[in-house]
Amino acid sequence: MPLTKDTIGVGFIGAGDISILHAAAVKKCPGAKLVGLWNRNQDRAQERAAQFGCKNYASPELLVNDPEIDAVFVLTNLETHLEYTAAALGAGKHVLVEKPVGVSVAEIERMKALADAKGLVCLPGHNYVYEASMVRTRELVEGGDLGRIVSAYVMYNIHHPEEVAKRYPGVVRQILTHHSYILLYLVGKPVELCAMKATLHYKEYPEEDIAMVQMRLANGALAHFCASFAADDHAADPWTVMVKVIGTAGSTRYSYRDHVEIKPGLVHSQTYTAYQGSITNEVRHFLVDCLRMGAKPLSTLDDAITAQKMIEAAEKSIAEKSVVRL
């Protein structure tokens, strides 16, 4: 049932860098308020609570059981997503869970079962699908306006220092998850893929800093992913973050470089305005469209399950040096 109360109360579990973007998004969302947060590191929690002007809860249990809170954002490390999502759903709260959503397909399936049993919305943090140009691309593809789709590209080239990269589980899990749900949203699921990865500039961190995937779609079209923390692209019209869909009757383009602010971002040397914008759009869709108006999410846990299957297929391809069917 849609929420009818005047103000939707939001709680954050996790107060890392991504919470700053989500707090800004909630602040811009009409009829929503950040009530409070919990973070394992209480020094960080107190700092963020003061920054955001909200409560700091002593435990996640107190947060999810607060009747002021209607929706919980799970913004912690990947390995704890299921634990906190289950706790929030068990307390009857709607959930937005950041990506990567779960460690395994089974974890995401468990989240879906819990949400379905309670009749609650559990929205995966698939923020890029809420960008206007992505929505327009999907409409053009579905309407046949681009003709037969022949190729699709999702590119990411943003240098991350080793100390920043250590916060993440390598680019296959951290970045190619974005690529996977973007491809699913725009042109559908691949039927087979092959992948490679490398570690080029880390001295101690063992995970990869670059990975590429080649895929074949059901209609025979080919798709390509690149995710790199190894280097920035300084060329003209750089592939910082670039999404292209090419068909026989037209093509589309989305780029981070369309809006750039010359100031440091959270972990980037510049601020790519589209990143905050995509999260603002996602949060508004979750709180207003889904919870207030009862609309169906643009991207679901079923999509998250398929994206996770793509990631696991890429990992299998890398390990076996093989082509993997999906």
pLDDT of res. 264: 81
Q: For the domain bounded by 129-278+308-325, which CATH number is listed?
A: 3.30.360.10
Task: Record the tokens describing residue 126, joined without a space.
Answer: 């698939």
Q: Are strands 71-74 and 55-56 parallel, antiparallel or unpaired?
A: unpaired
Confidence tier at 67 by pLDDT (50, 70, 90) = very high
| 256 and 240 Cβ atoms separated by less than 8 Å | yes
d(CA 104, CA 110): 10
Task: Record the tokens describing residue 241, joined without a space.
Answer: 């973050």
d(CA 274, CA 255): 9
Average pLDDT of the residues in 89-118: 98
pLDDT at 306 over 80: yes
Q: Are strands 8-13 and 71-74 parallel, antiparallel or unpaired?
A: parallel
Chain-wide mean pLDDT for the chain?
A: 96
d(CA 308, CA 233): 28
Return the residue matching tokens 């980037």. Answer: 268
Give the chain's count of helices (H) and strands (E).
Answer: 11, 15
Average pLDDT of the residues in 249-270: 88
Average pLDDT of the residues in 106-122: 98
pLDDT of res. 269: 77
Return the residue matching tokens 């390990």. Answer: 319
Q: For the domain bounded by 8-124, which CATH number is listed?
A: 3.40.50.720
Q: For 249-261, give one letter per residue: b (16+ CB within 10 A) or e.
A: eebbebbbeeebe
Average pLDDT of the residues in 4-25: 96
pLDDT of res. 8: 98
| 186 and 137 Cβ atoms separated by less than 8 Å | yes
| 230 and 210 Cβ atoms separated by less than 8 Å | yes
pLDDT of res. 16: 94
d(CA 243, CA 137): 10
DSSP label at residue 296: P
| 149 and 247 Cβ atoms separated by less than 8 Å | yes
Where in the chain do CATH 3.30.360.10 domains reside?
129-278+308-325
Amino acid at 267: V
Average pLDDT of the residues in 289-318: 97
| 18 and 283 Cβ atoms separated by less than 8 Å | no
Confidence tier at 133 by pLDDT (50, 70, 90) = very high
Where in the chain do CATH 3.40.50.720 domains reside?
8-124
Average pLDDT of the residues in 93-118: 98
Q: In Å, what is the CA distance from 118 to each residue of 82, 85, 310?
A: 16, 13, 28
Phi, psi of 157 (to 5 degrees): -140, 90
pLDDT at 1 over 90: no
Q: In Å, what is the CA distance from 317 to each residue of 80, 193, 196?
A: 26, 8, 8
Amino acid at 83: E
Q: In Å, what is the CA distance from 213 to each residue of 153, 266, 319?
A: 10, 27, 13
Amino acid at 309: K
pTM score: 0.95
pLDDT at 165 over 80: yes
